[in-house]
Amino acid sequence: METLIIVLAGVLVSAATYLLLSRSVIRVILGTAILSHAAHLLIISMGGLKTGAVPILGKEVSSFTDALPQALILTSIVISFAVTAIMLVLAIRAYQKLGTDNLLKLRGFNDD
């Protein structure tokens, strides 16, 4: 099971890298979103995907899944959510002020 998830994370990373290297700002932001998905998948599989009950006490079971990676992911998700929001707003502002969403054309506004 871990192998499958690792391969999936690898596919996501390659897709994200391809998008990050493109010209349009929105495609780049989509790339970062996919990259953070890959990282989160990686954390959950690195904690081990052994079968066990959901980590809620009160269930009559002998083993639970590891709770720490889930907390780490939850933290990481909200952080990357906030940064993605900032990135999107920046992209909109940049589009309004500079009139382009092409990263190669974001030149020639030197102030000094």
Question: Residue 102's beta-bridge partner residues?
Answer: 24
CB-neighbour burial class of residue 13 (10 A; exposed 0-12, middle 13-18, buried 19+): middle
How far apart are the C-alpha atoms of 23 and 102, rounded to whole Å?
Answer: 5
Sites for another protein among residues 28-47 (CB under 8 A): 28, 32, 35-36, 39-40, 42-43, 46-47
- Cβ proximity to another protein: between 51 and 97 the closer is 97
CA quadruple 61, 63, 68, 72: dihedral positive or negative?
negative
Phi, psi of 102, deg, nearest 5: -95, 120
By rule CB under 8 A, what string of x and - marks binding of each residue 3-22 to another protein? Answer: -----------------x--
Sites for another protein among residues 61-100 (CB under 8 A): 68-69, 72, 75-76, 79-80, 82-83, 86-87, 90-91, 93-94, 97-98
The SS3 call for residue 33 is helix
Q: Which residues here bind another protein, judged by CB under 8 A?
A: 20, 25, 28, 32, 35-36, 39-40, 42-43, 46-48, 68-69, 72, 75-76, 79-80, 82-83, 86-87, 90-91, 93-94, 97-98, 103, 106, 109-112
